Amino acid sequence: MREIDSGIQFDFPTGEKGIFFFKNFQITEEFINDMVLARQNHTGTNIIYPDEYNKFEFFDGLVSYRSVRQYLGVKTADCLPVLFASEKLKGCFHSGWRGLINGIVENLYEKVKIMGEDFSEITFVIGPHICGRCYEVKEDVADIFIRFAKEKGISQSVFMYFKDHKIFIDLASCCKALLKTFSVKKIFDVQICVKEDMRFFSRRRGDNSSQISVIF
Ligand SMILES: [Zn+2]
C-alpha cells in the first residue's frame, strides 16, 4: 500500500493494481473508454463481466477473469470500495449498509464459485470509507444489523458501538467478518476515513460527488 500522486495504490500478489483515487483526480477520456463501472444501486448483485453485463440493470460489483483488460471500477463517498484479485479473477464491489444487508458478499461467493475459483484464496483490499467513529446510524438500521449479525453468526460487538446514547457501525469490520465466514484470510484495509480525510469526498460531510476506485 502506498500513496501516489493520484491516490492510494495497492499491489496485489498476482500483479494486479488497485487504485483508490483522490477526489481531485482528473480522469482522462482514454481512461474512461477503458473503464467499466458498476451500475450502482445499493444492490447485493455482482455480475460476471462481460458475460452478465447486459443481464442486470443494476449491479454493485463486477468480477472478471484476469485476462480481461479493462479497468473495473466503483464510485463511493462513505461506502466501502472493495477491490480483489486471485490467480483466476479480479474485481470490485461497492457496499454501504444496504449492500451488506442485501448480500453483496454472499452473492460474490456464488459468482466466484461459478467461475471455478476458491473464494478463500482471494486477496481483498478495502479502500477509504467512513469509519466506525463517524458512521452514526438510527435505531432502525441498528435493528436490521442486529438481526443480520445473528443470522450470519457474527458477534454484533465486532462492528457496532454505543456512545453517548448514539449508535455507530463500522462497515469495514462488518464486511471483514462476513468475508471471514467464507474463510477468507487475506483482507487489507487502507484505514482512511473519508469524512476525516479531506482528500476524499464524503456524503456525511456534505459532498455530492464520489471518488473512483479501480482494479486493473
Ligand atoms: Zn471517521
Q: What would the pLDDT profile of 119-176 be if each residue is shown by its tens digit? A: 999 999 999 999 999 999 999 999 999 999 999 999 999 999 999 999 999 999 999 9
Cα(98) to ligand 1 centroid in Å equals 19
Cα(82) to ligand 1 centroid in Å equals 18
Domain boundaries, the chain: 2-129+179-215
Residues near ligand 1 ion, CB 5 Å cutoff: 131, 133-134, 193, 195-196
Class (C level, CATH) for 2-129+179-215:
alpha beta
Cα(172) to ligand 1 centroid in Å equals 12
Cα(195) to ligand 1 centroid in Å equals 5
Contact status, residue 8 vs residue 203, Cβ threshold 8 Å: no
pLDDT score for 80: 98
Cα(178) to ligand 1 centroid in Å equals 21
For residue range 24-82, what is the model confidence (pLDDT) as tens digits? 998 888 788 899 999 999 999 999 999 999 999 999 999 999 999 999 999 999 999 99
The whole-model pTM stands at 0.97
Cα(11) to ligand 1 centroid in Å equals 25
Contact status, residue 43 vs residue 95, Cβ threshold 8 Å: no
**What's the per-residue H, E or C state across the chain?**
CEEECCEEEEECCCCCEEEEECCCCCCCHHHHHCEEECCCCCCCCEEEECCCCCCCCCCCEEEEECCCCCEEEEEECCCEEEEEECCCEEEEEEECHHHHHCCHHHHHHHHHHHCCCCHHHCEEEECCECCCCCCEECHHHHHHHHHHHHHHCCCHHHCEEEECCEEEECHHHHHHHHHHHCCCCCEEECCCECCCCCCCCCCCCCCCCCEEEEEC
For cell 452473492, what's the residue? 107
Cα(196) to ligand 1 centroid in Å equals 5
Cα(170) to ligand 1 centroid in Å equals 10
pLDDT score for 131: 98
Interval 185-194 mean pLDDT: 98
